[in-house]
Amino acid sequence: MSHYRNEKLRRAVASLPCQAEDCGIEGQTQASHSNQLRDGKGMGIKAHDYRLAALCVACHQQIDQGRDLSRSERQERWDEAHRRTIGLLFERGLVVVK
């Protein structure tokens, strides 16, 4: 499986407000890749660039490594932020179907 890469898409995600539930902070967003095998994550390789969530630095750290969350809670939160991120990319016209 080849990995989809798109720098413009990564930049578009980083331009969004944080999409973690109850956050919404602007200006600190990072493009957070999925850590799930089904999304193309592997040893030393990031998931596909379309498996991104817009997360601020604090939410990114909490969801990736937070000790106060279980593995399944972290995955649920990332998945929810990912769904919101993809929706917002389309709603803001940052992804256009030719």
Residue 54 sits in the site that holds Zn ion (CB under 5 A): no
Contacts of 1 (CB under 8 A, 6+ apart): 40
Residue 53 sits in the site that holds Zn ion (CB under 5 A): no
Strands (E), the chain: 29-33, 52-56
Query: In terms of Cα–Cα distance, which of 89, 83, 73, 75 is closest to 10?
Result: 89
Residue 20 sits in the site that holds Zn ion (CB under 5 A): yes
DSSP state of 7: H
Residue 59 sits in the site that holds Zn ion (CB under 5 A): yes
Stretch that binds Zn ion, among 6-14, 30-38, 57-65, 70-78 (CB under 5 A): 57-65
Residue 56 sits in the site that holds Zn ion (CB under 5 A): yes
Residue 18 sits in the site that holds Zn ion (CB under 5 A): yes
Which residues contribute to the site for Zn ion (CB under 5 A)?
18, 20, 23, 25, 56, 59
